[in-house]
Amino acid sequence: MAALVEIPFEPPFSLEVTLKSGQLFHWEQVDFEGMPGFAGCIGNAPVTWIAQPDEETIVTLPGHEERAARYFGLDQSVSEIHATFPQGDPVLERAIAYCPGIRVARQPVWECLATFITSSLKQVAHIRGISMTLRQRYGESHEFAGKEFFAYPTPSALADAGESALRECALGYRAKSLALAGAAIRDGAVDLDRIEGEADEDLARSGLLELHGVGEKIANCVLLFSCGKWGAFPIDVWIERILRAEYRKRVKGAKLQQWATKYFGPNAGYAQQYLFHFARKTL
């Protein structure tokens, strides 16, 4: 293991469950130094490889520790996050017990935004297929362990490709939204760096909502899964289902959003991820 380095973190963490929790779609199983692990591009940096030989050990390539820790949420204290949750909530407690090792990832903002634009009404396998096709056709190539990997295409690359070409990547009506979002970012109409750095969550959300095809759910996904705004609480069919079934919530839309954000607290998005994975796998 001389060529690998450990990443310090606070257990519990499950690399495999986090990768399969509906946040990330392009990582591939790759053995390295005789150890099974996962490899993928984080932004347009060289390929990152990461493995979990046991529950308390995470290893990666030298020089990749900080990037991987931030990406997989290993720089977060789960005990401090859990302390902000509503106490004595049996539903949330069951969800956490079901998948205690999930972390909320922090992806590159454009990659996260574009992926969720393309994910509307799609299953995980379809989202992965679209992501891999876009990467292979329009992303920059990188090599690792004798395999070729692709970074997510830049906004310019997808804007220049245009709606018609993107439709050929199985995007359907989403092709227009993706091309227009790429163009808005390429041309400076929307500044993702400013949105990511915006301390006011509502202002950051408003900036994302300026993009064609981006509604409240996608904006909240981007805030949560890339901007580090753990209070964002995306509501999709699974979350609405568990809130209705287990919390007896009959309100919808803005009222449901307001209730969930207030009830689950400053790290509501972390609670959302436990509930989402639990609902998707058990309901």
On whether the CB atoms of residues 274 and 99 are closer than 8 A, the answer is yes
Counting Cα atoms < 13 Å in the Cβ hemisphere of 272 gives 32
pLDDT bucket at 1, cuts 50 / 70 / 90: very low
pLDDT of residue 271: 98
Q: Comparing C-alpha atoms, which of 23, 68, 62 is closest to residue 272?
A: 23
On whether the CB atoms of residues 72 and 48 are closer than 8 A, the answer is no
Task: Read off the pLDDT of residues 78-109 as tens digits, 9 standing for 90 and up.
Answer: 999 999 999 999 999 999 999 999 999 999 99
Longest dimension (CA), the chain: 56
Question: Is the pTM value of this prediction over 0.85?
Answer: yes
Task: Read off the pLDDT of residues 249-266 as tens digits, 9 standing for 90 and up.
Answer: 888 899 999 999 999 999
Q: Which residue has the higher pLDDT, 1 or 236?
A: 236
pLDDT of residue 121: 64
Measured in degrees and rounded to the nearest 5, phi and psi for residue 103 equal: -120, 155
CATH architecture of 5-76: 2-Layer Sandwich (3.30)
Task: Read off the pLDDT of residues 148-168 as tens digits, 9 standing for 90 and up.
Answer: 999 999 999 999 999 999 999
CATH architecture of 79-97+229-283: Orthogonal Bundle (1.10)
Domain boundaries, the chain: 5-76, 79-97+229-283, 109-225
CATH architecture of 109-225: Orthogonal Bundle (1.10)
pLDDT of residue 2: 52
Give the best-scoring range by mean pLDDT among 2-11, 44-53, 120-129.
Answer: 44-53
C-alpha pair distances (Å), 205 with each of 55, 119, 210, 229, 232: 36, 19, 9, 10, 9
